[in-house]
Amino acid sequence: MVGPPRGARAPLKNQRPNTSHSAIQRALATLQQFLHVEAISGVVLLFAAAVALIWANSPASHSYHDLWNLLLPLRLSEFAFVRSVHFWINDALMTVFFLVVGMEIRREIHEGALSRFDQALLPVLAACGGVIVPALVYLSFNNTAGRGHGWAVPTATDIAFAVGVLALLGRSIPSNVRVFLLALAIIDDIIAVLIIALFYSDGLQPSGFIVAAAGIITALGLQRLGFRTALIYVVPALIVWAGFLVAGVHPTLAGVVLGLITPARTAGAETEPPVVRVEAALHPWVAYAIMPLFAFANAGVDLRSIEFDGGTQFVALGIGLALCAGKPVGVIGATWIAVRLGGCRLAEGVTWPGICLIGLLAGIGFTMSIFIAMLAFTDEKLLDAAKFGVLLGSLISVTLGLGWGAEYAQRQRNVRS
pTM: 0.78
pLDDT of 193 above 70: yes
Indicate if the alpha-carbon torsion angle 81, 82, 88, 91 is positive or negative: negative
pLDDT value, residue 5: 45
β-partners of residue 83 are 72
Q: Are 146 and 386 in contact (CB under 8 A)?
A: no
Helix (H) / strand (E) containing 105:
helix 94-111
**Which pLDDT tens digit goes with each residue over 151-160?**
999 988 887 7
Do 188 and 127 meet the contact criterion of CB atoms below 8 Å apart? yes
For the chain, domain boundaries: 115-197+285-294+308-417
Q: Which tens digit of pLDDT belongs to each residue from 3-31?
A: 444 444 444 444 444 555 565 566 666 66
Q: Which residue has the higher pLDDT, 257 or 347?
A: 257
Q: Look up the CATH superfamily of 115-197+285-294+308-417.
A: Na+/H+ antiporter like domain (1.20.1530.10)
Cβ 397 vs Cβ 364: under 8 Å = yes
**For residue 266, pLDDT beyond 80:** yes
β-pair partners for 74: 81
Q: For the beta carbon of residue 199, count every other beta carbon within 10 angstroms.
A: 14
pLDDT given at position 304: 80
If you average pLDDT over residues 317-329, what whole number do you get? 96
Lowest mean pLDDT across 66-70, 277-281, 310-314, 345-349: 345-349
Query: Could you tell me the pLDDT band of residue 409, with boundaries at 50, 70 and 90?
Result: confident
Core vs surface per residue 101-126: b (16+ CB within 10 A) or e: bbbbbbbbbbbbbbeeeebbebbbbb
pLDDT tens-place string over residues 66-107: 999 999 888 877 778 889 999 999 899 989 988 988 888 888
DSSP letter string over 253-264? HHHHHHHHTS--
Query: Residue 77 region, left (φ>0) first, then alpha (ψ -120 to 50), else beta?
Result: left
| Whether pLDDT at 340 is above 70 | yes
